[in-house]
Structure 1
Amino acid sequence: MQATVNWRDGLVFEAESGSGHSVTMDGNKAEAASPMELVLMAAGGCSSVDVVSILEKARQQVSAVRCEVKGERADAVPAVFTKVHLHFVVTGTDVADKHVERAVALSADKYCSVAKMLEASVQLTHSYSIENV
């Protein structure tokens, strides 16, 4: 796996993945998300992929999944994340609590590479709620 990051101007950078996808980053958060915001988004995205995949395999009738990610950072430089909380909101018809609980736990404990990497130095927590429609 690889990526290339090119400076555009100011504190704005364009990153391109080895697979050819790109994202803009902005250290001032004026034009794009900051690199630290992208870390939170990556954790939420990685875990969401797992949760959706697991729920689909469990044949749950899911119509939406939202992952709300909150991070707390250290007061000193480097301002690393000290705590990250991922809250999943799963919407669907007759979605079983046991399946959502299992999907979130499997993502946290086994599958999400981003979360597993972060948990080495960050207090990582998870929760969920279900909105039946």
Structure 2
Amino acid sequence: MATKQVYLNWDPDQQFILQDKDNYQIVMKKPKGVSASDLLSMALIGCASHDVVEILNKQKQDLRQLKVTAESVQDDDPPWRFRKIHLHFQVTGKGIDPEKVRKAIQISEENIARCMQRLKMRWKSRTILKWRRNRQSNSPLHREGNFIFYL
């Protein structure tokens, strides 16, 4: 089991500097950095996309591009509780099997759900998959999938 440590340094200019174990820094605080709530959505799509890419690569899928967006609904007042985070996947590749993409997203969703349970976050999710073929005959297949976490 690995022990990991991350750091935060606050300075008098009201900047929060986050740093990982490899000294990579992220500035947290608008207007010069990422908001704290955006970091949660960014971590969620980072974890989800890593899972999906690893699974599809192991299944020998010719993945050419993956784009993931997260749209969140959050309370306006403290503690600014998230009500929903909607992840939208755009998968592009050649000969991509829609069932393998669906399964990869489902496995990622289950992994994230277990993590949320450990953090005692209530959740439910809904997966929506849409497929469309690019009109150009030689172009890769474009797949889109969504899953929505209701928190």
TM-score > 0.5, shorter chain as reference:
yes
Shift, 1:3, TM fit: 1.5
2:73 equivalent in structure 1: 72
* Corresponding residue SS for 2:54: helix
Q: Using the alignment, how far apart are the partners of 1:40 and 1:13 within structure 2?
A: 18
1:7 and 2:23 matched: no
Over 3 Å counting, the alpha-carbon distance change for 1:129 and 1:42 in structure 2 is farther
The alpha carbon displacement at 1:128 in A equals 4.8
Query: In the alignment, what sits opposite 2:58?
Result: 57
One-letter amino acid matched to 1:13 = F
Q: For 1:23 and 1:128, locate their aligned partners in 2 and report how far apart those are by CA, in whole Å.
A: 33
> Which deviates more from structure 2 when the two are superposed, residues 88-97 or residues 17-26?
17-26
Aligned 8 A contact 2:113 2:123 in 1: no
What is the Cα deviation at residue 115 of structure 1?
5.4
- 2:88 match: 87
| One-letter amino acid matched to 2:8 | V
| Alpha-carbon displacement from aligned partner over 1:56-101 (angstroms, at most 9, x marks no partner) | 0111101111111011102331112111111111011111100100
Please give the root-mean-square deviation of Cα atoms over the aligned residues, in Å.
2.4
Structure-to-structure mapping, 1:1-133, within 5 angstroms: 1-26=4-29, 29-110=30-111, 120-129=121-130, 133=140
Q: Deviations over 1:88-122 (max 9, x none)?
A: 11011111100100000000113676555578234
Percent sequence identity over aligned pairs: 27
Partner of 2:147: none
Question: Does the C-alpha gap of structure 1 residues 63 and 10 become closer, same or farther in structure 2, counting only changes over 3 Å?
Answer: same
- CA, structure 1 residues 84+91, in 2 after alignment: closer, same or farther (shift >3 Å)? same
Distance 1:30 1:71, change over 3 A: same
Structure possessing the higher radius of gyration over alpha carbons = 2
CA contact (8 A) 1:91 1:130 kept: no
| 1:40, distance to aligned residue in structure 2 (A) | 0.4
TM-score scaled by length of structure 1: 0.83
